[in-house]
């Protein structure tokens, strides 16, 4: 079940990143070929990028594969690697949980905000990003549970959760 959730999360992040790239590409083509631009391309690209980032954070948090310098972790033994992973994930959760709450609060207070050209309601896009932020917090909790339960025989080191 968790593999399906992770695959879905990865697909959502990839889809929205693809949409950002496609929207930017087509806007550049339209701008140079027809001397105009796609309506709301900038607002939409910002919103789509935020969605991709939120869903991507969920994956990076669970897998522990975010961009970081692991000098201390790499030179530690297995017990300390696990402690470092637990601390880092708990600190990440302390950031993600309030962020998810605040994004959902923004959604509930948005009212009728729309994009400037096409009048697309922004609360739909904010809701998708908020669900990604909640997924990030939930996957951080799951990672903490896995790290707590992880006991390698003979005190061997922990490994990154790469799916």
Question: CA 43, CA 116: separation in Å to the nearest integer?
Answer: 8
* pLDDT exceeds cutoff 70 at 68: no
Hey, where are the domains in the chain?
Answer: 2-155
Which distant-in-sequence residues (6+ apart) come within 8 Å of 162 by Cβ?
63, 65
Q: Is 94 within 8 Å of 145 (Cβ atoms)? A: no
Angle at 111 between CA 105 and CA 117, to 5 degrees: 120
> Scanning the structure block, which residue is given the tokens 């990028």?
49
* pLDDT exceeds cutoff 90 at 65: no
Query: What is the per-residue pLDDT for 160?
Result: 53
Query: What is the per-residue pLDDT for 157?
Result: 43
**65-69, 87-91, 152-156: least confidently modelled range:** 152-156
Q: What is the mean pLDDT of residues 29-37?
A: 93
Which distant-in-sequence residues (6+ apart) come within 8 Å of 31 by Cβ?
37
> Scanning the structure block, which residue is given the tokens 């994956």?
59
Percent of the chain with pLDDT over 90: 39
Band of residue 85 on the pLDDT scale cut at 50, 70, 90 = confident
Query: What is the per-residue pLDDT for 69?
Result: 56
Q: What is the mean pLDDT of the chain?
A: 85
Q: What is the mean pLDDT of residues 18-46?
A: 93
Band of residue 154 on the pLDDT scale cut at 50, 70, 90 = very low
pTM reported for the whole predicted model = 0.75
Q: Is 107 within 8 Å of 131 (Cβ atoms)? A: no
pLDDT digits (tens, 9 = 90+) for 96-121: 999 999 988 888 888 888 888 888 88
Q: Is 64 within 8 Å of 161 (Cβ atoms)? A: yes
Please tell me the number of Cα atoms within 13 Å of 106 on its side-chain side. 18
Pick the residue with more confidence: 38 or 162?
38
Cα separations in angstroms, 79 against 74, 87, 151, 162: 12, 12, 9, 19
């Amino acid at each position: 079940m968790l593999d399906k959730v992770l695959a879905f999360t990865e697909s959502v992040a990839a889809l929205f990143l693809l949409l950002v790239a496609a929207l930017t590409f087509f806007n550049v083509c339209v701008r140079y070929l027809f001397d105009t631009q796609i309506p709301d391309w900038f607002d939409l690209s910002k919103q789509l990028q935020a969605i991709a980032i939120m869903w991507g954070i969920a994956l990076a948090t669970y897998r522990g594969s975010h961009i970081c310098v692991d000098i201390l972790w790499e030179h530690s033994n297995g017990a300390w690697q696990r402690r470092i992973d637990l601390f880092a994930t708990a600190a990440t959760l302390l950031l993600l949980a309030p962020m998810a709450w605040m994004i959902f609060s923004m959604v509930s207070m948005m009212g009728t905000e729309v994009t400037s050209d096409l009048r697309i309601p922004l609360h739909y896009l904010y809701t998708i990003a908020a669900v990604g932020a909640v997924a990030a917090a939930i996957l951080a909790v799951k990672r903490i549970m896995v790290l707590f339960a992880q006991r390698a025989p003979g005190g061997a080191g922990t490994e990154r959760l790469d799916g």
